[in-house]
């Protein structure tokens, strides 16, 4: 079923459903991030059964949530623009490329921001208040590695080796 047809690009029911689905996921993610922002320890302290990583990666994911949702909203904007706005209004190729590359550039910045927050907990202004004093996943990883090495050294030393 074609809703609008230009000379080359068409917008059909699939495109509309896809953009509405992306918006719904973005709204749901924003709602979840707002709940986490208000009470982070409640959500961070329990690693879900379905989570494939351990507690360090779960805390990193929770810290990076706001930036990840920002990325999701940017991808929703790119989808909406490319699948709905361009076919409906016949935007020129130059304007199309400027907007898409601008949004994709912002998306890349959001991914880098998410990685920075997850790994080193910086910039702290994007981290939920209860998690601002966390070290970040890299520091937690190195601390655990040092602890394991000290335990091995102690364990081997107690055997008399």
Find out whether 96 and 86 touch, Cβ atoms under 8 Å: yes
User: The pTM is what?
Assistant: 0.73
**Over the stretch 113-125, which tens digit does the pLDDT of each residue have?**
999 999 999 999 9
How many CB atoms within 10 Å of residue 97?
Answer: 11
The whole-number pLDDT of residue 150 equals 87
Which residue ranges make up each domain of the chain?
2-158
Instruction: List Cα–Cα distances, 157 to 1, 96, 147, 161, in angstroms.
Output: 74, 67, 15, 6
**Range scoring the smallest mean pLDDT among 8-17, 52-61, 129-138, 140-149:** 8-17
C-alpha–C-alpha distance, residues 110 and 23, integer Å: 18
> Which ranges constitute the DSSP H helices of 39-136?
40-44, 55-80, 86-89, 93-120
């Amino acid at each position: 079923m074609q809703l609008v047809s230009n000379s080359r690009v068409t917008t059909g029911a699939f495109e509309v459903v896809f953009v509405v689905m992306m918006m719904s996921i973005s709204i749901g993610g924003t709602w979840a991030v707002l709940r986490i922002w208000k009470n982070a320890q409640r959500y961070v302290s329990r690693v879900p059964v379905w989570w494939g990583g351990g507690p360090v990666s779960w805390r990193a994911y929770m810290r990076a949530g706001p930036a990840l949702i920002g990325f999701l909203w940017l991808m929703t904007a790119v989808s909406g623009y490319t699948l709905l706005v361009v076919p409906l209004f016949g935007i020129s190729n130059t304007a199309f490329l400027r907007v898409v590359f601008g949004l994709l550039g912002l998306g890349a910045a959001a991914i880098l921001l998410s990685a920075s927050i997850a790994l080193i907990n910086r910039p702290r202004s994007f981290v939920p208040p209860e998690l601002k004093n966390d070290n970040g996943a890299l520091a937690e990883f190195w601390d655990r590695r040092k602890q394991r090495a000290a335990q091995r050294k102690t364990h081997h030393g107690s055997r008399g080796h």
